[in-house]
Amino acid sequence: MNNNFLIKTLVKYFGETKTIKMLNLVHRRSINKRARKYKALLKGI
């Protein structure tokens, strides 16, 4: 499954901040990098 599609789906159902928080729990080590990456991704939707 495409990662971008998965993120867009999560955002659709849970909202942006909740999705970023969930992703941070999964990828705790690189929180800031991931949050920035996904914020940039969300702007592109």
What pLDDT, in 10s, does the model give residues 3-27?
Answer: 778 778 878 888 877 877 777 777 6
- Structural domain for 11, as ranges: 3-43
- Closest by CA to 31, choosing from 43, 23, 40, is 23
pLDDT band, residue 34 (cuts 50/70/90):
low
- Residue 31 clears pLDDT 60, i.e. is over it: no
pTM: 0.35
Quote the CA–CA distance of 30 and 10 in Å, as a whole number: 19
Element (H, E) at 23: helix 16-26
pLDDT-derived band at 2 (thresholds 50, 70, 90) equals low
CB of 24 closer than 8 Å to CB of 35: yes
pLDDT of the residue at 18: 82
Q: How many domains does the chain have?
A: 1
The whole-number pLDDT of residue 4 equals 78
